[in-house]
Structures are given as structure tokens and as C-alpha cells.
Amino acid sequence: MLGFGHADSLRGTLLGGVGASPNHLWTGGLHLSRILDALRTAESVRSPHSVDWDRGGRPFRVIAVTSNKGGVGKTTLATNLAVYLRALDETTPVLIAGFDDQPAIDRMFALELGASGPQITQALRRGNLAPAIRLGQYGVHYVPSSRDIVELKREISSPWYLQSVLLETGWSGLVVLDTKSDFEVLTRNAIAAADLTLVVVKDHASLLEAERVFELFREWRRPFDCARIVLSLVDLRISFRGSEAENVLNLLLTEIRQRGLPLFDTFLSRSPKVESLYTNPEGRALSILHGAPGTPVHRQMQRLAEDVLALLPPRISAREARPKGEGDAELKRWLLYGRGGPLDAAPAHCAPPGSRVRPDSRDEDDLEPK
């Protein structure tokens, strides 16, 4: 008989009815196993993690990138973050999966567009991502996207189901989860499984929506420092006359601080060059690291990836953090990596809360879109 914490026993409970055996039901009432399943589900609602999730050290760490408002650059951030995380530490495998029905992840990472094989929907139904994982561009592994993933919203009832799936998958390294622009069950699963949630904010409307993530953290009794706001697509050409907030960045920073929400040290500028990476005859999406290495957004993505690694709790084999801000030599190493050269590893360890935008993330070079 399986223990209560086993991923297989959890899967039948958390995935509402998918693959459930008819032997588990009585015509006149509930089978004993169903009663135990119901009790287990009630316990999972009370606690944000399954027993196996918290027991001992997991060989993987999970990063969720979320915003329930579209058009904020969420998927661009998630896909490029996976590339930069892989570049910072070649010894740590990186896996990316998305809960959107758009093939953005495939366009960035697929070695062969349109290749057949299991996709994210089938993998989630089976409770194991491993059969669907493929090695992709830039050395990043990915799970192919699926047009019918929306069907899982009617099938998965618990926000903790993804935890059991990831435990069953047996991945060792980093997992980046790109959510759909909503706040439904798949997005909640990604947030529940994440060791660190990046909440993407572009404007006032997306900031209001971001507060829902922190309300969820309060409901689950999770510390706010497990989620941080990332300011994205910031256009510093937008200024306000006669206002204390000189530009849109200062305005958003003021509102975030007034709400007491944690945020990352750096922001991502709006860049026509970066936007051009997603339109080309091949129909592919190119990474910022390899397609726009001379832009301010490249440096900003580098800083963000370093900050993410610093904030993640250590895995089973933690590594020392690589120092930041090495100037021209740093950028040269990244360019060499883009051409296939080696790059020093950057380890992950916990960092104290309370980050704010650094002065060096707002230098002159970052002010003009490129």
C-alpha cells in the first residue's frame, strides 16, 4: 500500500477524475481509499506543500513567471531567463515549461519546429513530465506546448497537483514555469510549486493585478519574499510634467513601495531591438543573449538572472555565488559564451529581503531604447 506522501497516491486525488479507476467508487457510497483521498485533499488545502515536497532536499528548484495581465513581456522574460540561467551555470540543467496555448516556448527552443511527440497536456495528465522533455536550443530543455492545455482547467481541481508531477518527473536542476495571463488553476499550480515567483509588472493596471499574487501568498501563509515584482517593458521616454514622479519608472517604484511589496534590483527596458528578435523569416524567437548582446536589456537580463540565483534556496549541491558587476570583462565573457566559449558558474544561495532598484541599473546606457 502506498504511503500518503507518495506522488502516485496524490495524483489520483489532485487531478480531478483524470485516469481514475472505476474500482475506486462504490455505487452505494465512497470506497475507503476515496475517503482517505478526500482527507488528504483537505490537508493539502490547509498546507501549501505536500509531505514529499517539504521532506528533505529536492534536487530541483522552481521559478514561476506570472502576470494575469497580458502584454507585459512575461513570456519574453521567462524564455530569456531560462537561457541566461543556463549560461550562468553550465553545470546546472535548466527546464522550461509553459501553461499557455501559444507555441512561444517551442519557437525559442525547438530544434525542429513541429516535431511529433508528447506535449505538456499529455504529460500533465500522466503525472510525469519526463517523457515529454526535449533538449532544445542554447542547451535548455523544454516541454513542448499544447493547444488543448485549456482543457486541464476543467480536470485539475487542486493547486498542489503540479508538485506531485514535478516530484515524479525526477528533474535535477532548475525549472522555469511560464504561466498563462490569468489567475486560474494552472497558474496557481505554478505559484504553489515555485520556490521563487517573478510577478511581472509593466504599468499601473498590471500592478493592481500583481497584488492578487501577494493576496494568495497571504492566504497560503507564505512569506512575501518568495515572490518579487519585476518591472518590465519600462519606457523611460515617458515623463510627467509637474509631478514628483519624473517618469514611469519612478511612478511605479513609488506605488510598489507604498504597498510594501518586494521587487528585484533591476528592471527591463523596452527595446525595439529585442522586439525584432521575434519576427524573422524562420519563424523563430531568438534569445536576447545571442541576438541582442549589445543592448541595455542584455545587461539587465544578466543582472536579473544573477539575482534570481542568489534568491533561490540551495539545492542538494549548492555553489558559491559569482560576484556581480565585472564591467567590460563580464560582457566579453558573455559574448564568448554566445560563440560557444566557457563561462564561470554562478551558484544559488538565499539572499536577504528588501531589494530595491540599484543606481547602477539606471545608468545612462539603460535610458535609451536600443
Could you tell me the CATH superfamily of domain 57-366?
Answer: P-loop containing nucleotide triphosphate hydrolases (3.40.50.300)
pLDDT confidence band for 313 (50 / 70 / 90):
confident
User: Within the chain, which residue ranges are assigned CATH 3.40.50.300?
Assistant: 57-366
The pLDDT assigned to 240 comes to: 75
Mean pLDDT of 68-93: 95
pLDDT of 132:
97
pLDDT of residue 33: 53
d(CA 291, CA 275): 11
Residue that has been written with the C-alpha cell 509553459 in this structure: 98
- Average pLDDT of the chain? 78
% residues pLDDT > 90 (the chain): 57
For 30-52, letters b (16+ CB in 10 Å) and e give: eeebbeebeebbeebeeebebeb
**pLDDT tens sequence across 204-257:** 999 999 999 999 999 999 998 899 999 999 887 777 776 666 788 888 999 999
> Is residue 168 within 8 Å of residue 11, measured between CB atoms?
yes
